[in-house]
Amino acid sequence: MRFLERALRGPNEWWKYLLLPIIAFVIANTIGAIPLGIAMVFGAVKGGTLNPDNAGDLSGLGLDPNLSLFLLMFPFVIGLIGFILILKPFHKRSVKEVINGTHNIRWNRFFYSAVVWAIISGLMLFVDYSMNAEHYELNLNWSLFLPLIFISLLIIPFQTTFEELIFRGYLAQGVARWTRNRWMVAILPAVAFGLLHMFNPEVKEYGFWVAMPQYIIFGLVFGIMAVLDDGIETAMGAHAANNIFISIFVTAKASVLQTPALFLNNHVDPVKDLIMMTLAAILIIAILAKKYKWNFALMNQRVEGEKE
């Protein structure tokens, strides 16, 4: 085991684990947001307005939805670069060591997890559409849909990798360093991950106590996957597949991702979505556990010194 144990070596002052994520998010939302800011100014000059109910909806500014997606995701690219550049002088630790404690990334795990989550998501959408076809509106526009696929595959993995590196990687290692408790490694970053999304339009639309559990459970599942797999590649793959799938195949008026997706869901039931997401989470953990022979007893083991 090396992922969490890597944090037991090198500079690990507690304040660095607070400061580095803040710096990364500030970089993302200042330098990274410059192109978005410029586009919004031009849209406003032309008489456009923002959607007061959904900050992710830039259609009122006259922006192409695919361009909007790219501009909204671009800050995460810059934030990721900033995080990587600052990580080494802060902790004498490489980004690969944040991913799994070694100097190699297990890309096979990333892609396997991504494919499994995409298949599960596809089956869930198929079942729900079969049972509630009246809730869905076909939204196919080939001139927008084909570029959407390319842009989603290109840029969304930067957004999800940024979040996974900070929450399931970096902060998880910090929690392991100070608590030595693997359950805390999964739980505390999951709560922080949920709170990060508290201003998303879904939370405003459906209510804090209905929408927030989805984000926290989402983060908790990925945290458990990271602990059991001794690295965050499976979490990175599933997270990327989830957001790409939503971007391409189904959106809703309250969704933070306002894309020209294949379907528009006009009747979102957040409680049903929570139940379906929980079932999907159990399923992917079961599949990955069988594939990689995970030992669930590991969750109760204390994080000890790194074994060479």
How would you write the pLDDT of the chain (308 residues) with one tens digit per residue?
Answer: 799 999 999 898 999 999 999 999 999 999 999 999 999 998 988 888 888 777 777 888 889 999 999 999 999 999 999 999 999 999 999 999 999 999 999 999 999 999 999 999 999 999 999 999 999 999 999 999 999 999 999 999 999 999 999 999 999 999 999 999 999 999 999 999 999 988 888 888 888 888 889 999 999 999 999 999 999 999 999 999 999 999 999 999 888 888 999 999 998 888 898 899 899 999 999 999 999 999 999 999 999 875 44
pLDDT value, residue 307? 44
Q: Residue 106 in contact with residue 231, Cβ under 8 Å?
A: yes
Q: What is the spatial distance between Cα 23 and Cα 266, in angstroms, rounded to a whole number?
A: 38
Q: What is the spatial distance between Cα 237 and Cα 161, in angstroms, rounded to a whole number?
A: 9
pLDDT value, residue 215? 92
pLDDT value, residue 200? 86
Q: What are phi and psi of 301, to 5 degrees?
A: -90, 140
pLDDT value, residue 179? 95
Burial of 49 (0-12, 13-18, 19+ CB in 10 A): exposed
Q: What is the spatial distance between Cα 194 and Cα 156, in angstroms, rounded to a whole number?
A: 19
Q: Tokens 């037991």: give the residue.
A: 8
The residue type of 238 is: A
C-alpha distances (whole Å) from 143 to each of 62, 106, 149, 155, 281 are: 17, 36, 11, 19, 34
The residue type of 264 is: L
pLDDT value, residue 50? 80
pLDDT value, residue 204? 84
C-alpha distances (whole Å) from 94 to each of 75, 129, 254 are: 22, 44, 38
pLDDT value, residue 256? 85
Q: What is the spatial distance between Cα 274 and Cα 221, in angstroms, rounded to a whole number?
A: 13
What is the dihedral sign for C-alpha 57, 208, 212, 182?
A: positive
pLDDT value, residue 109? 98
Structure tokens belonging to residue 258: 């306002």
Q: Are strands 263-265 and 136-138 parallel, antiparallel or unpaired?
A: antiparallel
Q: Residue 11 in contact with residue 93, Cβ under 8 Å?
A: no
Residues whose CB falls within 8 Å of the CB of residue 271, separated by 6 or more in sequence, listed in order: 210
Q: What is the spatial distance between Cα 25 and Cα 45, in angstroms, rounded to a whole number?
A: 28
pLDDT value, residue 308? 41
